[in-house]
Amino acid sequence: MFDEVQCGTGRTGKLFAHEWAGVEPDILAAAKGLGGGFPVGACLANERAAAVMGAGSHGSTFGGNPLAMAVAGGVLEIILADGFLEGVQVIAKAFHDRLETITKAHPKVLSEVRGKGLMLGLKCVVDNTALSAKLFENGLVTVVAGDNVVRIVPPLIIDESHVEEAAGIIEASCAELTEGA
């Protein structure tokens, strides 16, 4: 069973993250990106796993909500359109490369770039909450995570100008934290 609630629906540049590893789950949980901001989730199962889920054995409070299904259908139409996921991979590589450059330039603040596609993380030397607060102060919203990481999870529709804007904020924030050290 794979939990692709956060990393699925195009976040890593493939429809589902497991595709990068060349394995297929028996059951897959999907949500978040599936609704493009609208609350929806899905439990996907292959034929063998689904065979043991008779009527009533797997339920959901909001299962089959027509509006949620319409939204998910619309999101999938966009994500599965020719070139969309390839575009995510291209912009993600550009963003990752920029973050690598920034990390090398600011070793007193950052030690590593992590992640796949547009699910990125900056491993911090400084406290991740300090970097996240500085980024927010300078106009970039991020989320802290375990192992002293700042997560960066932009929309899948960003372009080069967004990458440059975010990278500029990250670079300036790292410089400010270096000056304060």
Q: What is the average pLDDT across 163-175?
A: 98
Q: Which residue stretches of the chain are H helix?
A: 47-50, 66-79, 84-105, 128-137, 160-180
Same domain, 119 and 93: yes
The last residue of one of the domains, among 24, 50, 79, is 79
Same domain, 75 and 93: no
Same domain, 131 and 154: yes
Question: What is the four-CA torsion angle of 59, 22, 116, 44, rounded to 10 degrees?
Answer: -10
Same domain, 13 and 29: yes
For residue range 42-86, list pLDDT tens digits in order: 889 999 999 988 777 766 766 778 999 999 999 999 999 999 999
Range of the domain at 72: 2-79
What was the pLDDT predicted at 57? 72
Same domain, 20 and 50: yes
What was the pLDDT predicted at 53? 82
What was the pLDDT predicted at 59? 67
What was the pLDDT predicted at 64? 77
What was the pLDDT predicted at 122? 98
Same domain, 135 and 69: no
The last residue of one of the domains, among 79, 96, 121, is 79
Q: What is the average pLDDT across 29-38?
A: 93
Please, are residues 154 and 162 in contact by the beta-carbon 8 Å criterion? yes
- Would you call 114 helix, strand, or coil by DSSP? strand
Same domain, 91 and 128: yes
Same domain, 121 and 138: yes
CATH number at residue 151: 3.90.1150.10
Same domain, 75 and 23: yes
The last residue of one of the domains, among 79, 95, 114, is 79
Same domain, 57 and 128: no
Same domain, 93 and 167: yes
Q: How many domains does the chain have?
A: 2
What was the pLDDT predicted at 139? 98
Question: Mean pLDDT across the chain, nearest whole number?
Answer: 94
For residue range 91-122, list pLDDT tens digits in order: 999 999 999 999 999 999 999 999 999 999 99
Task: Measure CA 63 to chain center.
Answer: 25
What was the pLDDT predicted at 181? 61
Q: What is the average pLDDT across 31-50?
A: 92
What was the pLDDT predicted at 9? 96
Rg (CA), the chain: 19
Same domain, 65 and 105: no
